[in-house]
Structure 1
Amino acid sequence: MTAPRRFVVDEELTIVTAADHRERLLAFLGDGNALRIDLSGVADVDTAGLQVLVMARAEGVRLGLPVEFAEPSAAVTEALALTRLEL
């Protein structure tokens, strides 16, 4: 198996950007690529952004492709703690 393809989120992960990120992530997974999602540059995240991450993980499971989350920013770490989600 090849190394996971890197997907960088370097802006907000909010309702404003969620649809775009969702489509891009689905395209990566649709190409049969394992993903490593770099969250180090996320300055703001809301529930729509968290839904995108949960969707990516679920779609990866459905397709049998690994989806990794790497280097969550302070904003992502805080949102995960508040919602008690583990990615």
Structure 2
Amino acid sequence: MTMLTPTLYADNDLTIYHAQAIKQRWLEGLHQSEGDVTLDLSRVGEIDTAGLQLLWLLRREAHASGRRLNIVAVSPTVADLLAFCRLTENFSAPRATEPEVEAA
């Protein structure tokens, strides 16, 4: 039997304004999956402490069920917050590449 590894996304900002909807979607995705969970945060424009709490919640719930949370990409904003809070190692993930800007 092949284990399903869903990829969860944050299409909106990870802020207090979107926290409840994202929490519900992420926990449903976690509980419906059979294997490890993949999280893509490359599209996050803003993140606040509510978003950080969601990351901790998803990580804790995955570990409690014997699975891993694999973050495949983070936006520069998420990477900066994790570094500021000294949590980069807890949520190690490749940083999303920023579009190249041509010099004028």
Separation of aligned partners in 2, 1:18 and 1:59: 16
Gaps of 5+ in 1: none
Once the two structures are superposed, the pairs formed by residues 1-87 of structure 1 within 5 Å of their partners are 1-33=2-34, 34-85=36-87, 86-87=90-91
Counterpart residue type for residue 76 of structure 1 = V
Q: Structure 1-normalised TM-score?
A: 0.90
Tell me, what secondary structure is at the counterpart of 2:12?
coil
The 8 Å contact of residues 29 and 65 in structure 1, kept in 2 or not, is answered as no
RMSD: 1.3
Counterpart residue type for residue 83 of structure 1 = C
Counterpart residue type for residue 6 of structure 1 = T
Q: Which is greater in Rg?
A: 2
The 8 Å contact of residues 41 and 78 in structure 2, kept in 1 or not, is answered as yes
Structure 1's consecutive aligned runs of 4 or more residues displaced over 3 angstroms after TM superposition are none
More helix by share: 1
Matched positions, count: 87
Separation of aligned partners in 2, 1:27 and 1:11: 17
Q: Structure 2-normalised TM-score?
A: 0.76
Which structure has more RCO (C-alpha within 8 Å, separation ≥ 6)?
1
Q: Among the aligned pairs, what percent are the same residue?
A: 32
